[in-house]
Every structure is written in structure tokens, then in C-alpha cells.
Amino acid sequence: MNLFSETAIEDIREKQAAWEEKELAAALGNRPEEKPAYETECGIPLKRVYTAADIADIPADELGFPGAYPFTRGAYPTMYRGRPWTIRQVAGFGNPEATNQRYKYMIQTGQTGLSTDFDLPTLLGLDSDDPRAFGEVGRVGVAIDTVDDVDRLFDGIDLEKISVSLTINPSAWVVYAMYVAVAERRGYDLHKLAGTLQADPLKEYVAQKEWIYPVRPAVRLLRDLIMYSAKATPKINPISLSGYHLSDVGGNALQEIAFIMAFTIAYCEEVTGAGMDIDDFAPRLSFFFISHQDFFEQICKFRAARRVYAKIMARRFKARKPESMRLRVHVQTAAMSLTKVEHHNNLMRTAIQALGAVLGGCQSMHTNGLDEAFAIPTEEAMKLAIRTQQIIRDEINVTSVIDPLGGSYFIERLTRDMETEIWKLLDEVDERGGAVKLVEEGWFQQKLADSAYATFQKIDAGEKISVGVNRYVDEASRSAEVHIHPYDEACTQLQIDRLQAVRASRDNARVRELLKDLAEQARSDDINLLPKTIEAVKAKATLGEICAALREVWGAYAEPMIV
């Protein structure tokens, strides 16, 4: 069934033609428009005005209702009326104690979920005393070496009561094992643990560029994690499919969604191929998107993504449970859009992007600190970021009506156009042999690098405006005196001292034995590596040791040459 009757559409077309001839022509004769053509950031042409005639071809079923297939209008039937989105600011730096203190401050400020950033050595499976970790320990996130560090990170925080997001990727399965071990040590009910691991390996190879192993073993580790977590910790999302990073590395909105859906398909094929029913794990797949600058495009992106995902799960994977088709998304505002010049402007940018995410129907959100173009945010900046979300949630009444822009001629047309373009990209991935193969070949990497350079050239030529940078430049405005979050120089030594204490006090023969067993298991593709990993972390094997044991088996990833 279509949204409008054919006679109504005919009538609108006639009246529009008359308007174009009379009012519009007169206005254009008076004063031409500023640009010859208008388009979204991702290149979809925009009309001057949209009418019912522009969405006459869209069946009503494509919109549906909130919390029902195809989920265009929202993931849940009551959306923010039932539960507002979770304010989830990510934090992590220094030793576990330092991050733990920040968590307690943020909970006190009104944050409703925790989110952890790890330092680069932890992400890459290196211990703090590894030579390759030189200068990096505790910089961009918290340093984790052993299970005890995870215990310190959440000291005094009841993990049965608060959901925890862990931004961990190549070494995700080890940190998950540590998290489970800590929960068991504290006597928690594992079925009550709630939270999300990022653990999206394919996007690492194409975007965030943190990797340990070649592509296929990395996907296998994710498969093991998804399958283990579905049974042991059913309220934990074992993966957050991260379009955010695809955008961060240069992708446009269409590439963000299409590529991440291609990865979703690859992961689902991997897990179902191992014998698990789609409905046994798909409800726990979660997503992470950016909310970028093109306001309406971004809102439509969220709506289109929900629809595409629902169709993939229903049609391609024959899911039966509605929860398997429901896309839930955590959103972060666009760090790329922040400027060092006149950095207070970043507050406005972030607020608008956050509003877009809410109108697009996000489930949780991180708003960037205004100083994030300088360093990791200070407490003051984080507080302003949390306040931004609270103002949107509690002061301006945008949460009472679900999908308030739904039915707008423009919004529905753009949602539909974006969906069409996303399907085209997905078809191309299928034709070229699927996501895993294309990641190995560097196909996505090349597309994203090309897109990044094109965007740079647009900014360089002044076609894409950045206020204060290439438009309305105030020569007098100096780079700000911002208070930078201090780095604790003692952090590395403390981690190293602790590591050495652990290695001196544990049963090293047993650790060696467990690592040997783990490597042996990794050689055969059909053993789940999680149980043995959990055993190893309980015996105080370090994150670096575990990752190294499997590197012996699988080798290291070699980057393709893409510039």
C-alpha cells in the first residue's frame, strides 16, 4: 500500500508545476540561488523542496511502527518514553586506579553507563614492559596487563548494576576473559552482567588500524567470543559493529553503513557456519555509528541503517525473532569535526550532532569533549559533554514523540535514497567475493583513503566550510590556552613493577602449560578458545603472553600498501 492516493499525487504535481512557473520563476529571476546544485555530504542530490509526490513510490510498510519490522522508526515501541538513551562517556587513561577514579566522578555527575578506552599496547596485545610499548603505556587509555588490573579498574563498582562498554578490539577475547574471571572472583551472577565489547576485527584492518593476527584468525576469535558469550553472559553484547571508525578514516555516510553491514554479513556467516542459529546470537549484535555534520543526512542514515539491517537479517539469514532484526546503536559525535581554532565552537558542533543522534533514535551516546582536538578530555570538558546530553534529554522536549521527523517528505525520500545506495554497495561487495576477501585485498582501505583525500581537497578548496578555519577566520584568535589532561609519568613504571611481581609470584610452570594448550587449540579451527583463555588469565597469564602464544601459531598481519 502506498502512502498517498494517485489522484492526490496528480494534484500535487500539477500545483507544483504551477508554483514553479509563477512564484519560483519570479524569485529566481530576482535573485539566483547561491549554488547551482545542492547535495548531501555523501553526494545525494537535494531538491529545493519535497512534496508527497516525492515519496509516492515508497510503500507504507517501509516505515512501519517503532519497535517493529523494518524498524525504520525506532528500535523500541516506546523509545525514550520508556527509557532515555544511556549517557555513556568513554574514559580510560593511566593505571587502572586513575580510570577508576574518573568513573566514580562520572557516575556522580549523572552518567548512566561506563565505557572504557584501553591504551595501545593493551589493544595490540603487548604487555606494558614490551619494548614496542615504549612511550605508549596509559596514554590513550588504561593499561591492562593481568586479571588484577581489571579488578582494580572496577574497584568499588557493582558490575551487576551498571552496564560496561569495553572499547577493545584485537585482544578483546582476553579482556573479556579477564572480565569474566573478575566477576566470578567477586561472586557475581554472570547472567546479570551487562555491557558491550567493541571486538569488531574487520573494521580494524580498514579503519582504526589496530591488529595482531591475519584477517581470518581474527574473525575466528570473534566467532569464538560471540558463541561463548551467548551462553555464558547472555546480557553482554560481544560486538559493537563500528561504522564510526569507517567515517573517522574518511568514509561517507553510505560507506559507513554499507561497509559495516558487509562486515555484519561476514560475521553472521562465520557464526552460523559454525553451527549456531542466527536467533541465538543476532539479538546481541550491537552497533556504533558516528553522528556527523550533515544534520538531516545523519538522521536519515540511522533510519536507513535500521531498515537495511532488518532486511538483511530477515531475508538473508532467515531470522525469526524480531530482536534479531532490531539494530541498536551507540553513537559518538564526530571527533573529526572538532577544531583547535576557537575550540569553544566545538561545544556547539557537538550539541547539534548529539541532537541529530537523538532524532535518529540512538540507544546510547558519547558526546565529545570540547578539548578533544588537543588531548584526552579533562574532567571539566567531560562534565560539559554530559550536560549537553542532559539538556537535550531534559530541557527541550524532544523525547516525548518517537521518530518526530518520520513522515517528512524530505526525510522519507532521503532515507529511501540512502538505503538504495547502501544496497548497491552491498551488492558490489558480494559480487567481488565478500567482505573478508576484500579486506585482505585492501579494497575497502582504498575506497576510504580515496574518500578521505576527496574530503580534504574540498576543505582545502574552501568548498566544505569549517567555521573559524577556512571561513570567518579571526586572525586575532590564538590557539586556546586549554588545560590539558596531565599524563602521569609514573604510570609505566608502576605497571611494569606489578607485572614483574605477578610473574614472580604465580605458578609459572602452569602458565606455560596453559599457553601451550591454548596454542595447540588454536591450530584446529573448531575449538572455542575462550574456556582455555579464561583458565589462563585466572592463572595470571598476562595479556601479552596470551596474544604472543597465538602469534606463534597464526603469524602477524602484514598491511597492504594502500595510500
Instruction: Provide the minimum distance between the beta carbon of 142 and other proteins in the complex, in angstroms, as a whole number.
Output: 13
Nearest distance in Å: CB 484, other proteins: 5
Residue 27: CB partners within 8 Å, gap ≥ 6? none
CB 210 → other proteins: shortest distance, Å? 5
Chain centroid to CA 332: how far?
7
Nearer to other proteins, 58 or 469 (CB): 469
Shorter beta-carbon distance to other proteins: residue 186 or 209? 209
- Residues in a beta bridge with 86: 364
Smaller CB separation from other proteins, 248 or 412? 248
* Least Å from the CB of residue 441 to other proteins: 8
Q: For strands 329-333 and 285-291, give the pairing.
A: parallel
Q: Which amino acid is at 314?
A: A
- Could you say which DSSP state residue 20 is in? I
Residue entry with cell 584526552: 376
C-beta closer to other proteins: residue 15 or 209: 209
Nearer to other proteins, 358 or 522 (CB): 522
Tell me which H or E stretch contains 255: helix 253-273
| Number of Cβ atoms within 10 Å of the Cβ of 15 | 12
Work out how close the CB of 457 gets to other proteins at its nearest, in angstroms, rounded to a whole number.
Answer: 8
Smallest distance from the beta carbon of 151 to other proteins, in angstroms? 25
CA 194, CA 192: separation in Å to the nearest integer?
A: 6
CB-wise, 395 or 431, nearer to other proteins?
A: 431
Counting other chains too, the contacts that 378-381 makes at CB distance below 8 Å and 24 or more residues apart are 378/483, 378/484, 378/485, 379/102, 379/105, 380/483
- Footprint of other proteins on this chain (CB under 8 A)? 120-121, 123-124, 126, 131-136, 139-140, 204, 208-210, 214, 248-250, 339-341, 373-376, 441, 449, 452-453, 456, 460, 466, 469-470, 479, 482, 484, 487, 555, 558-563
**Residue 163 contacts residue 208 (beta carbons within 8 Å):** no
Nearest approach, Cβ of residue 300 and other proteins (Å): 25
* Cα separations in angstroms, 342 against 133, 385, 466, 475, 481: 34, 17, 11, 11, 11
Write down the least CB distance from residue 277 to other proteins, Å: 29
- Cβ distance to other proteins smaller for residue 260 or 373: 373
Residue 249 beta carbon to other proteins: minimum distance, rounded to whole angstroms: 5
Decide whether 133 or 325 has the Cβ nearer to other proteins: 133
Looking up cell 561476514 gives 266
Please name which of 557, 555, 556, 552 lies closest in space to residue 519, comparing C-alpha atoms.
552
Strand order in the sheet with 114-117: 114-117, 164-167, 195-197, 236-237
| Closer of 449 and 527 to other proteins (Cβ) | 449
